[in-house]
Amino acid sequence: MVARLTEEQLAELRAIDSPTIANAIEPFEVRGRVQGYVGYDVRCLIPGLGTMLGYAVTCKGDSTTEGRKVERAHQQLYGAIFASPKPAIVVIQDDGRDIVHSCHAGEMMATTMKRCGAIGLITNGGLRDIHEVKALGGFHYYGAGLVVAHGNPLIYDVGAEVTISGVKIRPGDLLHGDENGITVIPEEIAAEVAAAAMKVRESEQKRLAEILSPDFLKQFERLSKYE
């Protein structure tokens, strides 16, 4: 479980875009360069809310298996959100037979999650009620896409390790996301990532200044003479 950061540390991370955070993690070499971030199969469905930063509250869901019955754990999920360190982010792994038709939350669940202290929801399956969830204000919504019906909705395995877009997420993992996608901030470097991100920004700004300088294109002019 990720060490809890101070409000000041969280604010520093929240002020940074997710691609810069992803770049800042790489030099620490605590994971592979093609690990720890969600792919484009999970996308931001409500853009314009800024950075989503919080601790994962995990579960699995199945809405596409006709007649399946399991011990529903919606109340257990809401309790886990309430008990979680804040800010909390719900992560639902689709566990059904037909992910294309899956739907793991809508207005009622999103409203309840927010009421219990969640700032957002991530799933590799479908979601719905996009206008109503937008109207909640400040609730991040990430999924594979929108689906009109909720099917046979089941929630279970609250607190289990889940896999979203090939990324393993444990309860309490620190997640950072924006319109570009989502990355997991590793526990062992969480307190150092913001400072590293500032160095990334400084380096990028220096390189951009070089690219935009009057002399930048001269190197290509010289090269073209030898073609």
Measured distance CA(195)–CA(192) in Å, rounded: 6
List, in order of start, the domains of the chain with CATH numbers: 7-224 (3.50.30.40)
pLDDT (tens digit, 9 = 90+) per residue, 18-60?
Answer: 999 999 999 999 999 999 999 999 999 999 999 999 999 999 9
Q: pTM for the whole thing?
A: 0.93
Residue 221: predicted pLDDT: 78
Residue 75: predicted pLDDT: 94
With contact defined as beta carbons under 8 Å apart, do 113 and 136 qualify?
no
Residue 2 has pLDDT above 80, yes or no: no
What are the DSSP E strand ranges found in the chain? 43-44, 52-62, 88-94, 118-123, 126-127, 140-143, 145-146, 154-156, 162-164, 167-169, 174-178, 181-185
Residue 217: predicted pLDDT: 87
Q: Which of 73, 70, 99, 85 lies closest to 163, judged by CA? A: 99
* Percent of the chain residues topping a pLDDT of 90: 89
Task: Quickly state the pLDDT bin for 227 (edges 50, 70, 90).
Answer: low
Measured distance CA(227)–CA(220) in Å, rounded: 11
pLDDT (tens digit, 9 = 90+) per residue, 169-202?
Answer: 999 999 999 999 999 999 999 999 999 999 999 9
Measured distance CA(217)–CA(227) in Å, rounded: 16
Residue 226: predicted pLDDT: 57
pLDDT (tens digit, 9 = 90+) per residue, 116-137?
Answer: 999 999 999 999 999 999 999 9
Residue 153 has pLDDT above 60, yes or no: yes
pLDDT (tens digit, 9 = 90+) per residue, 69-87?
Answer: 887 789 999 999 999 999 9
With contact defined as beta carbons under 8 Å apart, do 69 and 227 qualify?
no
Residue 1 has pLDDT above 80, yes or no: no
Q: What is the mean pLDDT of the chain?
A: 94
